Amino acid sequence: MGIGVIGRKLGMTRVFAKDGTAVPVTVVQVPTNYVVQVKSPERDGYRAVQVGAIEAKEKHLTKPLIGHFTKRNIKLLRYLKEYRIDNPQDFQEGQELKIEELFKPGDLVDVVGTSKGRGFAGTMKRWDFGGFPKSHGHRYHRAVGSIGNRTDPGRVWKGKKMAGHWGSEKVRVQALLVVDVIPEEGLLLLKGSVPGPNKGLLFIEQSRIAGRKKQQLKQNRLKAIVEGLGQVGAQS
């Protein structure tokens, strides 16, 4: 597993290849990320690097967190994320992570975010149920239907798909193509959509499944898009 960064979703747009092909992309703003703590098997029992981003005020942090940053002589940061990696010795506490060194066009990344909250939703919207016939005389149309048997099992199974709160949960989108990296503006352009609203917090890391045969074929297939972009032109 590789190290990642913390960013915010700015929104979606499209870029055009030299042949006129339109590629939908999500623009991710990546502020300055710092290595806050390096964990080793000898001291912590496992290998990991703790990354922080987005400056914070003291009133927004607890005293233990303030002490955590002060001890390492690092500015107060609002968000922390830990990445398990095989080579934590290559990083130093207080080091600034540069997106152009971590990602390059053509890479595959995983993006973790919190999906949009949709409130209470019925089964047709939440789980894409088909519903009942809409013919004349039918009493039910968008009802959930049967949720169990009679004496056996005599209860509703755990995990049954029913109406309830939809969205506002952790979602991981895997193997998104990095279309372009713009380090001077701290931007990443990722092909396709990512979870969450605009300005939503995102965690971007090297893809866990990039080594699979299917993803390697996908990467080779999309390589022509990245090579054909040249000077990226965007249209909101």
Give CA torsion, residues 148, 150, 156, 160, to 10 deg: -10
d(C-alpha 82, C-alpha 52), whole Å: 9
Q: 3-class DSSP state for residue 94?
A: coil
Q: Is the pLDDT of residue 233 over 60?
A: no
Query: What per-residue confidence (pLDDT) applies to 152?
Result: 87
Whole-structure pTM value: 0.87
The CATH code that applies to domain 4-117+167-235 is 2.40.30.10
**39 within 8 A of 56, measured Cβ to Cβ:** no
Q: Where are the domains of the chain?
A: 4-117+167-235, 118-145+160-165
Res 194 pLDDT > 80:
yes
Q: How confident is the model at residue 221 (pLDDT cuts 50, 70, 90)?
A: confident
pLDDT level of residue 44 (50, 70, 90 thresholds): very high
pLDDT in tens, 95-117: 999 999 999 999 999 999 999 99
Asked whether the predicted pLDDT for residue 235 surpasses 60, the reply is no
Q: What is the mean pLDDT of the chain?
A: 92
Under DSSP, is residue 141 helix (H, G, I), strand (E, B) or coil? coil
- Least confident among 7-16, 97-106, 141-150, 226-235: 226-235
Question: What average pLDDT score do residues 160-189 get?
Answer: 95
Amino acid (1-letter code) at residue 25: V
- With CA atoms as reference, report the closest residue to 78 among 32, 38, 113: 32
Contact 72, 94 (CB under 8 A): yes
- What is the torsion angle, in degrees rounded to the nearest 10, for the CA atoms of residue 96, residue 102, residue 108 and residue 114? 0
Averaged over 154-160, what is the pLDDT?
Answer: 93
Q: Is residue 39 within a helix (H) or strand (E), and if so which, with residue range?
A: strand 33-39
How many helices (H) and strands (E) the chain has is answered by 5, 13
Half-sphere exposure of residue 140, counting CA atoms within 13 Å on the CB side?
A: 9
